[in-house]
Amino acid sequence: MIESKPAQATRSAYNRAEPSFERDLVEVTRGTRAGEYLRRFWQVVAPSVDATRTPQMVRVLGEDLVLYRDGSGTAGLLYPRCAHRGTSLYYGRTEEHGIRCCYHGWVFDADGTCLDQPLEPDGGRARDNYFQPYYPVEERYGLIFAYMGPPEKQPVLPRYDCLEHLAADETILVDATSRGTGGPAICDFNWFQHYENVMDPFHVVVLHDSFSGTQFVPDMGTMPEVTYAYTPRGIKSQQVRTMSDGRTLRRVTELALPTGRIVPSPTLSIFGPVTGLGFMMPIDDTHFRIYNLNVAKNGDTGDRRGSLLGGKAWRELTPAEHRQFPGDYEAQSGQGEITLHSEDRLASTDRGVSMLRKLFRAEVDLVASGRDPIGVAFNEADALIRLDAGNYVAE
């Protein structure tokens, strides 16, 4: 028998503990504690242009829903199984008002009202007794937001200061490519892995600079002095660096809970306060998408193709090139579909991650105990959210 020292026995992969993830950080479905927390906020479901006369399926927070726009311009988001006998409204036809089911023709409006039962006498004498489950939607900044939580807790849709004061020659560009993950538009791992990456400024020095060469700009590759702070809306980190020209860069990155991510230009192409932000859309427990909004000059298409290796886009990289040039997508998907928190060993440079987890857990607890989370407002007067994020330069 081979004698092994106790320390070596502990290190044997055979002896590792059964791993687990922390449900309150990752789950998004209805009825879970974290899913109920997320449902206390308006969530992005699609760009406004995606709601058309042709109904389509969208998956948000683990729920499959039918999104459409009727002839009067009203967008609707309905539970897909028709209230009559359950066929999918995906096969329905939009009308001037509402959507007509393909099977027996019942029509439902965006608030679930049954407008017609054409096979019933007089179009359905008792049709007021029927309704289609729905979620309220609002459109702002070129996106469709839905409120999927308890109706009596519906907050006002927030406004963000960086998107509110456009000049006459400016517009808000919607980028649905999940820019910021460096990967595909729909990422195939849990959304919180990306969210906590935003509070991990130190990975920039290794993953984005030294591991495979400079992915952003050389000034971002120097070790920053980092501090973190909680804000009224979430958490922020400040990273101070001396740039190659001798000036000091004070970079502030923040999260506006539960899904707002505010990351100033990592290539330092924009200085000053941020001119946009991103909303993460948890699709289900193992998929998410990011919608980035940016104020741009009219006519700017915002089509700045990411250049990874030899000018290639992410999807053009071979498996060998993904290993040669790993970015955010590779690092975060590499943690698994849902990371195993029990195996994490947080170190001194993970302070932002541990602070975020602590805050998120506390907010989930707050909602579970019947109270309101930070970031919800019930009056229009309180709807404006001011951000601190930006790339600030001092001589």
Q: Which is nearer to Fe ion, 101 or 255 (CB)?
A: 255
Q: Which is nearer to ligand FES, 130 or 216 (CB)?
A: 130
Measured CA to CA, the distance from residue 321 to residue 181 in angstroms comes to 17
CA distances from 333 to 40, 144, 248, 262, 330 (A): 27, 27, 33, 21, 5
Query: Considering only 24-32, 100-108, 165-173, 176-184, which stretch makes contact with ligand FES by CB under 6 A?
Result: 100-108
Write the CB contacts of 47 (distance below 8 Å, at least 6 apart in sequence): 142, 143, 144, 174, 176, 291
Pair 38, 55: CB distance under 8 Å: no
Task: Tell the smallest beta-carbon distance from residue 144 to ligand FES (Å).
Answer: 24
Q: Which is nearer to ligand FES, 103 or 228 (CB)?
A: 103
Concatenated DSSP letters for 70-138?
-TTS-EEEE-SB-TTT--BGGG-EE-SSSEE-TTT--EE-TTSBEEE-TTSGGGTTTGGG-B--B--EE
Task: Tell the smallest beta-carbon distance from residue 137 to ligand FES (Å).
Answer: 21
Q: Is 106 in the site for ligand FES (CB under 6 A)?
A: yes
Alpha helix (H) ranges present in 247-369? 319-324, 328-333, 351-368
Task: Tell the smallest beta-carbon distance from residue 192 to Fe ion (Å).
Answer: 15
CA distances from 386 to 7, 72, 141 (A): 52, 34, 16
Q: Is 103 in the site for ligand FES (CB under 6 A)?
A: yes
Among 23, 33, 59, 104, binds ligand FES (CB under 6 A): 104
Pair 317, 307: CB distance under 8 Å: no
Task: Tell the smallest beta-carbon distance from residue 143 to Fe ion (Å).
Answer: 24
Q: Is 101 in the site for ligand FES (CB under 6 A)?
A: yes
Q: Is 87 in the site for ligand FES (CB under 6 A)?
A: yes
Q: Which is nearer to ligand FES, 102 or 377 (CB)?
A: 102
Measured CA to CA, the distance from residue 155 to residue 371 in angstroms comes to 13
H or E segment and range at residue 287: strand 287-297
Binding residues with ligand FES: total (CB under 6 A): 10
Q: Which is nearer to ligand FES, 85 or 304 (CB)?
A: 85
Binding partner of residue 136 among ligand FES, Fe ion, none, CB cut-off 5 to 8 Å per kind: none
Judged by CB under 6 A, the chain residues 65 through 84 that form the site for ligand FES are 82, 84
Query: Considering only 103-111, 219-227, 245-253, 302-310, which stretch makes contact with ligand FES by CB under 6 A?
Result: 103-111
Binding partner of residue 336 among Fe ion, ligand FES, none, CB cut-off 5 to 8 Å per kind: none
Residues that bind Fe ion (CB under 5 A): 328
**275: DSSP letter:** S
Q: Which is nearer to Fe ion, 94 or 193 (CB)?
A: 193
Q: Which is nearer to ligand FES, 68 or 279 (CB)?
A: 68
Measured CA to CA, the distance from residue 73 to residue 142 in angstroms comes to 14
Task: Tell the smallest beta-carbon distance from residue 83 to ligand FES (Å).
Answer: 7
Q: Which of 251, 257, 213 is nearest to 235 (CA)?
A: 257
Binding partner of residue 211 among ligand FES, Fe ion, none, CB cut-off 5 to 8 Å per kind: none
Binding partner of residue 328 among ligand FES, Fe ion, none, CB cut-off 5 to 8 Å per kind: Fe ion
Q: Which is nearer to Fe ion, 208 or 287 (CB)?
A: 208
**351: DSSP letter:** H
Q: Which is nearer to ligand FES, 55 or 375 (CB)?
A: 55
Task: Tell the smallest beta-carbon distance from residue 198 to Fe ion (Å).
Answer: 8
Q: Which of 389, 350, 7, 365 is nearest to 200 (CA)?
A: 350
Binding partner of residue 101 among Fe ion, ligand FES, none, CB cut-off 5 to 8 Å per kind: ligand FES
Task: Tell the smallest beta-carbon distance from residue 117 to ligand FES (Å).
Answer: 8
Rounded to 5 degrees, φ, ψ at 225 are: -95, 125
Q: Which is nearer to ligand FES, 105 or 266 (CB)?
A: 105
Write the CB contacts of 251 (distance below 8 Å, at least 6 apart in sequence): 201, 224, 238, 239, 240, 241, 264, 390, 391, 392
Q: Which residues bind ligand FES (CB under 6 A)?
A: 82, 84-87, 101, 103-106
